[in-house]
Amino acid sequence: MTSEAIPSRTTRFAGEPHCVTGARLAAEEFLSDLGDNEPPASPEHWDDILLVVTELAANAVQYAPGPFALRMRRTFDGVHVTLRDTNPTPPAPRSFNPRTGGGGIGWHLIHALCDQVSVVPDDRGKDVHVFLPW
């Protein structure tokens, strides 16, 4: 596959709570376009990507003030998702305690579903990179 043939899409969001739904819809549109030419090897891959994008966007809205950007790109063996937000602090796993209203499972879930996860902070925020099978 040449670099010109690799589908890629970047969508920017204001960082408001409703933007989590917008990010999920943008991901669904990207996957739909991708699936028209190359369906996923398993239906679960589609669902996993949407869940991970939703978790990343929700974390950006909750922990990083301001806008975020979602980039999705087809790779040789999967889909590379990058979420850029304005908080340079890398995510950290938290203990899950259902008695305190939940929370704390998103970062664990992302690590469980993704082949690779990396965080690249800089002085203006961070990029969270995740790779998932397709």
Calpha distance 87→73 (Å, rounded) = 23
Per DSSP bridges, beta strands 116-122 and 125-133 are antiparallel
Name the residue among 75, 70, 66, 42 with its Cα closest to residue 54. 70
pLDDT of residue 2: 43
Name the residue among 120, 17, 13, 33 with its Cα closest to residue 79. 33
Instruction: Tell me the per-residue pLDDT of 29-46, one tens digit each, with 9 for 90 and over.
Output: 999 999 998 999 999 999
Domain residue ranges in the chain: 3-133
Domain 3-133 fold is: Heat Shock Protein 90 (3.30.565)
pLDDT of residue 98: 73
pLDDT band at residue 3 under the 50/70/90 scheme: very low
Instruction: Tell me the per-residue pLDDT of 63-116, one tens digit each, with 9 for 90 and over.
Output: 998 999 999 999 988 999 999 999 999 998 887 777 776 677 899 999 999 999
pTM of the model: 0.91
pLDDT of residue 30: 97
